[in-house]
Amino acid sequence: MISEKIILGIDPGTTIMGFGIISIKKSKMEMISIHELILKKYPNHETKLKYIFDKTLALIDEFHPDEVALEAPFYGKNVQSMLKLGRAQGVAMAASLYRNIPITEYSPKKIKMAITGNGNASKEQVAGMLQNLLNLKDFPTKYLDASDGLAVAVCHHFNSGSTAETKSYSGWESFLKQNPDRLK
């Protein structure tokens, strides 16, 4: 029986990427850490992707999560933005799979619904509810992208055992079996 589970939540982004790490002991949830990776200072998309991969590996190596949860990119009007977000998510997924950490994706609506009960909640509402759920006096970051990463981790905890509207992969073989269209 597992006495503690650590979950790394990631909100992929190409300007700011948010990470939140929680610990579950018995059924008590506690925030371990919250981070953001500021990427707007880097000169090109390829450099940003390298830093996303490196930071994800560094967080995995430091905190040893049992599972990684990611926010799935949402469809917007700008196809180029969607493509860049998908690449950011893919690099974070690759880093997790490289360390053999199982990953699960959640849609933005599912995350907001799990945290606030409202799939259309604002980022501020999500951060406020996280502050309440985790008994935080002050929210430890000014970046809502970081709180979104934390929200993904909490959503994953709340949805443990549920597979509705999520995709889980335990490694590259699992990913390829569930996504044969991505194999060329």
Which residues are annotated as catalytic? Answer: 11, 71, 145
Q: Which two tokens stand for residue 121?
A: 């909640």
**What residues are paired with 71 via a beta bridge?**
106
> Is 11 marked as binding a ligand?
yes
Could you tell me if 30 and 65 are in contact, meaning their C-beta atoms sit under 8 angstroms apart?
Answer: no
Q: Is the dihedral of CA 96, 102, 105, 106 positive or negative?
A: negative
> Is 145 marked as binding a ligand?
yes
> Is 71 marked as binding a ligand?
yes
Residue 9, φ and ψ in degrees, nearest 5:
-105, 140
**On the CB side of 53, how many CA atoms lie within 13 Å of its CA?**
13
Residue 161 CB contacts under 8 Å (≥ 6 apart), including other chains: none
Q: Which amino acid is at 90?
A: G
The DSSP bridge pattern shows strands 166-169 and 16-25 to be unpaired
Q: Which residues are annotated as part of the binding site?
A: 11, 71, 145
Q: Which residues are annotated as part of the binding site for Mg(2+)?
A: 11, 71, 145
